[in-house]
Amino acid sequence: MNMMKRGDYILIIFLLLFAGVLFLHNMNNIQEKGTMVEIRFADEDPIYVSIDQNTTLDLSHGDLVNILCIEDEKVYMLESNCRDQLCVRRGEISLEGESIVCLPHRISIVILGTDKGDIDALSQ
């Protein structure tokens, strides 16, 4: 029976550490973000705001006016000068996966996080 050489142990330890690091790295990617509000304008990178922070955000771009409110863990579009006003009429959202979309102004607001809604998606 051949005994393992010292080098083998080092290699094994190294590989296990390597696997451990990759494991942790991937775990981070699996974990969901805390309850956050993702705000996206057209194809720009999104910005994230915590839902438990009461704030009013001015998302206006040039002549396109959109004012978003985050209040008591609820998010709603206070004001918009878009043609259809669907974003304002959408009212309050608070559960993961719920969204407010202002298509004319290409703005989307999506709630991310761990508070699971009852459904995975809405067919409409």
- What is the dihedral sign for C-alpha 79, 90, 49, 46? negative
Does 71 contact other proteins by CB under 8 A?
no
| CA distance linking residue 45 with residue 33, whole number of Å | 17
Largest CA distance in the chain: 81
Between residue 17 and residue 56, which ones bind other proteins under the rule CB under 8 A? 18-19, 22-23, 26-27, 29-30, 38, 40, 42-43, 46
Report the candidate in 103, 98, 97, 53 with the shortest Cα–Cα distance to residue 80. 103
Which residue in the set 34, 56, 103, 114 belongs to the binding site for other proteins (CB under 8 A)? 103
- Which residues form the interface with other proteins (CB under 8 A)? 1-5, 8, 11-12, 15-16, 18-19, 22-23, 26-27, 29-30, 38, 40, 42-43, 46, 83, 89-91, 93, 98-99, 101, 103, 106, 108, 110, 112, 118-124
